[in-house]
A = this chain, B = another copy of it.
């Protein structure tokens, strides 16, 4: 995943344009992404797909010919969606178009102006301070005009249309944790799920933030109702512990599943309530959709110092963090795929496990073994109302161990599937 992030890092992405296209092409080497192009001007819910923006070059030249700011050195030097310009102006006139971080003198901030025509440069505070009075030539060689919004989608069909959504944003230029980490982890998660024959269908979206999810929702309102669980993926590569931001519902199955997986994980974690700010969960969880979609991160947006600056670069990513994030997601998928509701075939009293080779024959021990406890929990709760997942929650045992116990009991014909189940996450 580090290699993928490294390959994607230099590309100047935005919410539209060739950077997004090149990014999706690279991902297509790993997964069979379908790429969609939506024309500028298309109405999507309350919004309109904006003009396409592409940029070739941008710089500020002092009157002695020195380039004091140069886009070719860092994609962040340009305010995204800056309109083309080639003028010479005094520093005082230029200043309102220059953005820096006074508290972090060596970092370039990330700024955008997608929906209000504008132009500007981002630079370090040190660069800004060194500018002397005088006149500067300002050149932005960009195109801002009708074009397309580009996004990628992968549907991995399962036995049912019940769909699990994974969504990540691809609009950030040369920012690593936010969100090359999410892109890389989502790509490898998709590759993994392709090797399964899943019960659920899995839908991966690689979209520009906000306008991308709005566009997908507008174009796929008929599929929205199929989404039974979902996660927005971002900031999955830094050294911090895990953060799960709940769905707006707060008690959706995905909220319980992620909390369960993180509770049994070694890495410290935090479960945070939904707030209507952050990533595309804002759109998925808008009141008209209210989808069961949370957001999985390590250190959340806005809570690490390098966030939205040139310091959020490849050096912030830890290969072991990316791997661990992927492992957590695979566990989440294991729960989603492995959950079932079974009924004990011997609900009255415990069945005699000893004669089936499932229980120690020598009695009197101080305690039951861990494995025996898992068997007893499954049998005790297999009343047709508790899913395996609910058993794992009540027993305080990782889902995988409950699933393994259920498999042993199924093999011994002590369990049977329930016919009609209203809610398998009961």
Number of copies of this kind of chain in the complex: 3
Q: How far, in whole Å, are A287 and B282 apart by their CA atoms in the complex?
A: 42
In the complex, which of the residues B283, B308, B372, B377 contacts A364, with contact meaning CB atoms closer than 8 Å?
A: B308
Least CB distance, A332 to chain B, in whole angstroms? 25
Q: Please, which residues of chain B bring their CB within 8 A of the CB of A79?
A: 362
Docked-complex contact A362 and B46, CB < 8 angstroms: no
In the complex, which of the residues B112, B288, B346, B377 contacts A347, with contact meaning CB atoms closer than 8 Å?
A: B288
Q: Does A47 make an interface contact (CB < 8 A)?
A: yes
Closest to A394 in B: B273
Q: Does A180 make an interface contact (CB < 8 A)?
A: no
Tell me whether A286 and B112 are in contact in the complex, defined as CB-CB below 8 angstroms, given that A248-B380, A276-B379, A352-B47 are known contacts: no
Docked-complex contact A287 and B366, CB < 8 angstroms: no
Least CB distance, A379 to chain B, in whole angstroms? 7
Least CB distance, A275 to chain B, in whole angstroms? 8
In the complex, which of the residues B248, B275, B283, B380 contacts A287, with contact meaning CB atoms closer than 8 Å?
A: B380
Q: Please, which residues of chain B bring their CB within 8 A of the CB of A129?
A: none
Interface centre among A46, A99, A282, A347 (most CB of B within 10 A): A46
Q: Within residues 265 to 291 of chain A, which ones have a CB less than 8 A from any CB in chain B? A: 275-277, 282-283, 285-290
> By DSSP majority rule, is chain A's interface helix, strand, loop, or mixed?
loop
Docked-complex contact B276 and A363, CB < 8 angstroms: no
Closest to A48 in B: B352
Q: Does A351 make an interface contact (CB < 8 A)?
A: yes
Q: Does A344 make an interface contact (CB < 8 A)?
A: yes
Q: Please, which residues of chain B bring their CB within 8 A of the CB of A44?
A: 349
Closest to A305 in B: B366
Other A-B pairs beyond A115-B355, A282-B380, 13, CB < 8 Å: A44-B349, A46-B349, A79-B362, A109-B364, A113-B361, A276-B373, A276-B379, A277-B368, A282-B350, A283-B349, A287-B344, A287-B380, A288-B349
Docked-complex contact A350 and B110, CB < 8 angstroms: no
Docked-complex contact B366 and A276, CB < 8 angstroms: no
Q: Please, which residues of chain B bring their CB within 8 A of the CB of A20?
A: none
Least CB distance, A274 to chain B, in whole angstroms? 8
Docked-complex contact B46 and A286, CB < 8 angstroms: no
Q: Within residues 370 to 407 of chain A, which ones have a CB less than 8 A from any CB in chain B? A: 372-373, 376-377, 379-383, 395
Residues of A within 8 Å of B, CB-based: how many? 65
Docked-complex contact A354 and B116, CB < 8 angstroms: yes
Docked-complex contact A47 and B277, CB < 8 angstroms: no
Docked-complex contact A45 and B383, CB < 8 angstroms: no
Least CB distance, A252 to chain B, in whole angstroms? 15
Q: Does A67 make an interface contact (CB < 8 A)?
A: no
Q: Does A61 make an interface contact (CB < 8 A)?
A: no
In the complex, which of the residues B289, B347, B381, B382 contacts A348, with contact meaning CB atoms closer than 8 Å?
A: B289
- 11 intermolecular pairs with C-beta atoms under 8 Å apart: A109-B364, A111-B364, A116-B362, A275-B373, A275-B377, A276-B373, A276-B377, A277-B376, A286-B379, A287-B380, A287-B382
Docked-complex contact B362 and A214, CB < 8 angstroms: no
Pairs A-B, 9 closest by C-beta atoms: A288-B347, A288-B348, A116-B361, A287-B383, A276-B380, A112-B363, A276-B376, A45-B349, A111-B364
Least CB distance, A151 to chain B, in whole angstroms? 15
Interface centre among A210, A288, A349, A366 (most CB of B within 10 A): A349
In the complex, which of the residues B115, B275, B348, B368 contacts A352, with contact meaning CB atoms closer than 8 Å?
A: B115
B interface footprint on A219-258 (CB within 8 Å = 1, 0 otherwise): 0010000000000000000000000000010000000000
